[in-house]
A and B are shown apart, each in its own frame.
Chain A
Amino acid sequence: MKNLRQNPLALSGLLIIITVLFVAIFASWLSPYDPNYIDIQSILLPPSHSHFMGTDGLGRDVFSRMLYGSRISLLVGFVAVGIATLIGTFLGAIAGFYRGYIDSIIMRFVDIMLSIPTFFLILAVIAFLTPSIWNIMIVIGFTSWMGVTRLVRAEFLSLRNREFILAAEAMGASDFRLIYKHLLPNSLTPIIVSSVLGIASAVLTESGLSFLGLGVQAPQSSWGNILTDGKEYIQFAWWLSLFPGLAILITVLGYNLLGEGLRDLLDPKNKNLKK
């Protein structure tokens, strides 16, 4: 925490995340209106006292929809990246530690997954299932673990022949202990940096999917689909695109800054240096 305080960027990232979390948790308290309440008498009103962020094409309050939408982006980010990091770290660790055939099989599987375009997989899954928020998170998670696998494996490979690992091995440490106590902590940096970037890109992926009509579906609101609704009127009903656009920008920025700060904080090499 002390280290974090020395890094103003990371601190502001953390503050952004906490704010978004707060907003997401208390969305139902903070919203002045029901996010799905349609009022066709007040279509496309600009921001005012009664509607902080104006109203959309069905007269719904954009502010309330943004608040509820923050839940979606948080969920999408955390769950999708959680899935991806778990799968990625597990496979990468095994591949990098055991090498040989296990490594070959895992890495060829990674190659196969990498060579099938992500949105093709997403589209196929969404063709089977409704494009609901859960399916979108699972799909993003299951299609974005390959980068983590490669990073962890590469890190393991280059650490594997280092003296401190060989020494631990010679002292009879079990495989699990070697991985868990020695290799993994020394590979944490890329895992953390990539999962934080991963959360950020999951939020972006959701907005991209919304653009293609494959994101969270109406009437449920997500920042991505509010932004997509607003893109037709970018020069007229600017509030429809400005607020969700900024919200995505700031949140993604927050994750990134925090991740950067954590990298500095958790990097064992940095710690050694400070001792």
Chain B
Amino acid sequence: MHIRYLFILVFLLFGLVACSDKKESVNNYEGTFTSEKGGTLIDAMSGEPSNLISMIAGDSASSAISGNIFNKLIKYDKNLELAPELASQWIISNDQKTITFYLKKNLKWADGHDLTSDDVLFTWKLVTDEKTRTPYGSDYKLVDKAEALDPYTFRVNYKKAYAPALDSWASLQILPKHILKDEDINHTFFSRKPTGSSYYKLTQWINGEKLSLEASPSSVMGEPNINQLTSRFIPDTSSQFLELIADNIDLMNINPIQFARVIPSRPDLKNKLALYKELGNSYTYLGFNLKHSPFNDIRVRQAINYALDKQEVIDGVLLGLGEPIASPYKPGTRWSDQNLHPYSYDKNQALKLLHEAGFNDSNHDGILEKDGKPFSFEILTNQNKQREMTAVLIQRRLKDVGIDVKIRVIEWASFVNQFIKTGDFDAVILGWSLSLDPDQYNIWHSSQQKPGQFNFIGYNNKDVDQLLEAGRTELNPDKREKIYHAFSKILLNDSPVVYLYAGYGLTAMNKRIKGIDSPAPPAGISYNSYEWFIPSTLRRNEITP
């Protein structure tokens, strides 16, 4: 009796499944296609955006979406040089303290209102307002006076020349005054129902499920080719990958193993997925606590640098999909000095330096000692697969030269509060972004060592301090280049951190998406995403009611 009901239930379920069996359509992705408008691109996001007002949101998901909706005054172009966006040009005064932006004519918000310098001024006031819950206000507070001279002219004065100013204006998304002037920016519907000026406008946002953008007809940038962008929120990357190979999403970020091994080995996947790699925006390093002995000894730091085989780490952790670096700047940009080279892997040199620093294996247990104390330290890192694997490789290489390393992996919030802020660590594996503006005052200047500040390793070098100060007040790119090359050279020699690698950002994209620049320019493949297109013959069958 019961069994029969069970069978009927199972039968029904499978019937339901069977009648929806979709036919596999075979697409021919190769051939030449001309660009056309329309179509939907579906991607996957691991986290859901939090707030589309980027000055308040801190998460990368939010900025990925809001970047499609809002504009900035200026932007970085495909070669990472500053270029016009809302402003057609900008002029720096001779004393380098005043920047004047000239806005393009006839700029419109998506709702038809004019976009003027008033909106820019309004946005600046918001980001510098004490009541605004933004962590990013400090750059803009250096502006002594900001004014909208006329609807197309916006001028800012700084008390003293501030070189990263342009970079800060290339990251501030301009918000509409006419909608927000009576709103509490911290707590407004606008954060989830924005009106912008750029390529797309938000049409749908289902919490926890997906978010859709549609091409905005009044976009100040012109109309993009792809009509609709849908982002599905799928937290688990294994699930994302299954959706990708089942053709339900068009692109996702993949890991080195998927990039180098999984997809190339499977003809069916190779047929429909195109792989792109671009130099990412961050590097991974091993940082020492310079206040702890023996890391206050430059010979010890250099020795560890020589003892680590960076290429091995890149090959092992990233399957070769990364680059060694010798300065905290993105290789290929003007700030990165091509004459600098990473420490080579040289075990003997490492041992020599360690002996000079007073370390010897006097009791022949394989571990070096100094004053009877074995050289043993702990590497802390957060829960990040690649950093964990890196730590394991470092542990082995340092054992070769007689240094005992322990690894400790800690959840992020505890990591920051218990160890970084209190300075209670020997060494960390962490990442810094390869900033587009060369100013790294916050990270390396000796004044930035208070709890919560970013020079938590305690780096202290007078020459570096001077260079960083000089670089901050120099707006001429050629002069800045010299300053930061000099800075990078000292930093490399001092070796307060061991640069491990700058990994590639890896993307797998369904071949129905066309128009992607390959190889990727310095800015990455998505710099021209508005030019991507989906030929109508390759589009998904949209479900009609």
Q: Which A residues are within 8 Å of any B CB, using their own CB?
A: 36, 38, 40, 43-44, 57-59, 123, 126-128, 130-131, 213-214, 217-219, 229, 231-237
Contact = CB atoms under 8 A, between A and B. Distances in A.
B168 interface: no
Given A213-B383, A218-B409, A236-B261, A231 B316 contact: no
A236 B265 CA distance: 9
A38 B410 contact: no
A40 B316 contact: yes
B530 to A, nearest CB: 32
A232 B396 CA distance: 26
Given A38-B392, A43-B319, 7 more contacts: A36-B392, A57-B389, A130-B408, A232-B257, A233-B257, A236-B262, A237-B262
Contact of A40 (B237, B241, B312): B312
B interface, size bucket: 20 to 34
B250 interface: no
A43 B395 CA distance: 19
B315 interface: yes
Given A40-B315, A43-B316, A218-B407, A234 B238 contact: yes
A135 to B, nearest CB: 12
Interface string B227-263: 0000000000110010001000000000101100110
Interface of B: 237-238, 241, 245, 255, 257-258, 261-262, 265-266, 312, 315-317, 319, 383, 385, 388-389, 391-393, 395-396, 407-411, 413-414
A127 B413 contact: yes
Contacts of B261: 44, 236-237
Contact of A219 (B237, B245, B316, B395): B395
Contacts of A126: 411
A235 B239 CA distance: 12
14 contacts: A38-B393, A38-B396, A43-B319, A58-B393, A127-B414, A128-B414, A130-B409, A213-B411, A217-B409, A218-B392, A218-B409, A219-B388, A219-B407, A232-B238
A58 B257 contact: no
Nearest to A41: B315
A58 B319 CA distance: 10
B316 A233 contact: no
Contacts of A233: 257-258, 262
A193 to B, nearest CB: 25
A38 B411 contact: no
Contacts of B319: 43
A38 B395 CA distance: 11
Contacts of A123: 411
Given A127-B414, A219-B392, A232 B255 contact: yes
Contacts of A38: 316, 392-393, 396
Contact of B238 (A57, A217, A231): A231
A127 B413 CA distance: 8
A68 to B, nearest CB: 15
B241 A232 contact: yes
A236 B392 CA distance: 24
B310 to A, nearest CB: 13
A218 B411 contact: no
Contact of B410 (A130, A218, A235, A237): A130
Nearest to B382: A213
A237 B262 CA distance: 8
A122 B536 CA distance: 52
Nearest to B384: A213
A126 B382 CA distance: 13
A235 B395 CA distance: 31
User: Quick one: which of A123, A218, A237 has the most chain B CB within 10 A?
Assistant: A218
A267 B463 CA distance: 81
Contacts of B389: 57-58, 218
A21 B409 CA distance: 29
A102 B266 CA distance: 65
A218 B389 CA distance: 8
A131 B415 CA distance: 13
Contacts of B316: 38, 40, 43, 58-59
A232 B238 CA distance: 5
Nearest to B311: A40
B395 A232 contact: no
Counting chain B CB atoms within 10 Å of each CB, which of A59, A236, A237 scores highest?
A236
Contacts of B262: 233, 235-237
A128 B312 CA distance: 34
A58 B392 contact: yes
B383 A44 contact: no
